[in-house]
């Protein structure tokens, strides 16, 4: 078992979870407008959705690995190219964070959990990201690839839950900080770019 790969995976996941994106921005806005508990309900829904993506990845890609090593290499190559594409998309995007919560409708905790779950499960970009991200971090030559994908998925969900929950609990402080520091969004924008490129290079090498 290669613990260095796991540590790299945890570090990359942590940075990506902190980097502003549709999911954690939605959690932040819900927490600011409706309260921390509502933000946490959204977090739980989003994380629960990751179980579906992990399962599809574990059984789908594991079957491909057993069938053909060259096909698996192609998957990793395409994954690296997709991550480079994401880095380019972030580079072209606006670094300003929109935390406007004036018109956010208030929903029940159950409704937010369900919405978070389906936001994640029905988002094809999450499936593609998992397919691009996870295969490059298989960490054992003896353990079943299905179990490795589930372990990576579990780590991804745990790290994301901790980070997203922290965002929900510290929402008001984060909003205040972003207003006081206009370069906050720009800093995370370039951090995302560096991480995406770094992961792509790691997968290729």
- As a whole number, mean pLDDT of residues 44-62 equals 91
| Cα–Cα distance for residue pair 16/203, rounded to 1 Å | 16
| Rounded-to-integer distance, Cα 40 and Cα 28, Å | 10
Rounded mean pLDDT, 40-55:
94
Q: What is the pTM of this model?
A: 0.86
Q: What is the pLDDT of residue 110?
A: 93
**Residue range 72-121, pLDDT digits in tens:** 788 888 888 888 988 898 888 776 666 665 556 678 899 999 999 998 99
Better pLDDT: 70 or 48: 48
Segment 151-159 mean pLDDT: 96
Q: How far apart are CA 87 and CA 43, in angstroms?
A: 25
């Amino acid at each position: 078992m290669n613990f260095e790969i796991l540590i790299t995976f945890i570090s990359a996941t942590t940075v990506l979870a902190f980097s502003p994106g549709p999911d954690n921005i939605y959690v932040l806005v819900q927490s600011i407008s409706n309260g921390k508990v509502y933000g946490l309900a959204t977090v739980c829904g989003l994380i629960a959705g990751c179980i579906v993506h992990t399962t599809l990845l574990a059984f789908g890609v594991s079957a491909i690995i057993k069938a053909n090593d060259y096909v698996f290499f192609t998957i990793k190559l395409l994954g690296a190219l997709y991550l480079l594409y994401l880095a380019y998309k972030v580079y072209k995007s606006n670094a300003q964070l929109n935390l406007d919560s004036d018109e956010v409708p208030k929903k029940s905790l159950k409704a937010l959990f369900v919405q978070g779950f389906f936001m994640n499960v029905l988002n094809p970009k999450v499936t593609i990201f998992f397919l691009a991200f996870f295969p490059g971090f298989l960490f054992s030559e003896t353990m079943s690839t299905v179990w490795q994908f589930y372990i990576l998925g579990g780590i991804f969900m745990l790290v994301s839950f901790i980070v997203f929950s922290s965002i929900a609990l510290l929402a008001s402080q984060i909003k205040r900080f972003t207003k006081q520091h206009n370069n906050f969004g720009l800093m995370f924008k370039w951090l995302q770019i560096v991480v995406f490129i770094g992961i792509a290079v790691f997968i290729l090498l």
